[in-house]
Chain A
Amino acid sequence: MEAVKQELKEKIISVLNLEDVNPEDIKDTDPLFGAGLGLDSIDALELIVMLDKDYGIKLLDPKEGKAIFESIETMAKYISENRTK
């Protein structure tokens, strides 16, 4: 689980072009949207594509993303339980 969290932080920074953010800047429970990393709706769609491409998880209902993408903690848990690759 810890390895997945670290991997996720690195992937999010790379995929979302968060130029001035380092993995250690992102706390596991920090909100990813709004006050936290300040991600927007396009970033949310990009995370959905990342789940599919890198972990084989298809989110058919984007509304599910709200709970899954709450933080690194929630994302890592969901990925660990549902990944197919």
Chain B
Amino acid sequence: MADKNSFIQSWCTIQNNKINLNGETIFESEPTIGFADFAKAAYRNFGWSYPKFFKMDSLSKLAFIAAELLLKDETTNETETDIALVFSNKSSSMDTDVTFQESIATKENYYPSPAVFVYTLPNICMGEISIRHNLKSENSFFIFEKFNPGFLSNYTDVLLSTNRAEKVLCAWVDFYKETYRANFYLVNSTEGLEHNETTIKTLFNT
């Protein structure tokens, strides 16, 4: 059992072309545009400069946007920050897996794309975030049928109470065929909303 208090410092949701940060809508696009255009519009809106973003698959773009909003004041390029990543979803990397499969489906048109192939694992999105934020921390990616606040909060409390991390970025980040949802929240040991299953369910309306 965890013997350290834990708190939710900040949280972010992204779905239906809308981004909420700490309960406030900070960006939204027409609901009719696809995720790729929404993600590009969000990137431009926040004035980010990270060309690698455009090479990412949809799952990584979704995770990148949410992480960028929660970690922008937490990390620097100069020093490492001990923020663990504990992510989860239902669809794994299936959206990109299907794209890759289609590129090798016929003998006549067999051109496997290396740039697509590298995203055929769900935990690659954590790698993208780790590179961007200079993190060399604990990270785990779990596949669940649905968002599992109880598991994530227990796992996070163990990481904090055993000093495996100073903070933990927790996430449900799911993308498949243009249906997507990101629930991200940053947990620390000092201040914020009480970190437990009930609070998480309330913040993310689950």
**With known contacts A17-B54, A17-B55, A18-B51, A52–B114 Cβ distance under 8 A:** no
Q: Which of B51, B54, B55, B114 contacts A45 (CB 8 A)?
A: B114
**Could you count the A-B residue pairs with CB atoms below 8 Å apart for me: how many are there?**
27
Among residues of B, the one whose C-beta sits closest to the C-beta of A21 is: B51
Contact with B along A20-47 (1 / 0, CB 8 A): 1000000000000000001000110110
A83 located at the interface, meaning its Cβ lies under 8 Å from any Cβ of chain B in the complex: no
Chain B CB within 10 Å, residue with most, of A18, A43, A45: A45
Which chain B residues border A77 with CB–CB below 8 Å? none
Which chain A residues border B40 with CB–CB below 8 Å? 19
A59 located at the interface, meaning its Cβ lies under 8 Å from any Cβ of chain B in the complex: no
Q: Give the distance to chain B from A38, nearest Cβ to Cβ, in Å.
A: 8
B113 located at the interface, meaning its Cβ lies under 8 Å from any Cβ of chain A in the complex: yes
Among residues of B, the one whose C-beta sits closest to the C-beta of A44 is: B114
A12 located at the interface, meaning its Cβ lies under 8 Å from any Cβ of chain B in the complex: no
> What count of chain A residues pass the 8 Å CB interface test?
13
Q: Which of A20, A38, A46 contacts B115 (CB 8 A)?
A: A46
Contact with A along B6-44 (1 / 0, CB 8 A): 000000000000000000000000000000000010000
Q: Give the distance to chain A from B55, nearest Cβ to Cβ, in Å.
A: 5
Determine if A53 and B115 form an interchain contact, defined as CB atoms under 8 angstroms apart. Answer: no
Q: Give the distance to chain B from A49, nearest Cβ to Cβ, in Å.
A: 5
Q: Give the distance to chain A from B156, nearest Cβ to Cβ, in Å.
A: 32
Q: Which of B111, B112, B114 contacts A42 (CB 8 A)?
A: B114
Determine if B51 and A49 form an interchain contact, defined as CB atoms under 8 angstroms apart. Answer: no
Determine if A46 and B54 form an interchain contact, defined as CB atoms under 8 angstroms apart. Answer: no
A residues touching B (Cβ–Cβ < 8 Å)?
16-20, 38, 42-43, 45-46, 49, 52-53
B residues touching A (Cβ–Cβ < 8 Å)?
40, 51, 54-55, 111-115, 118
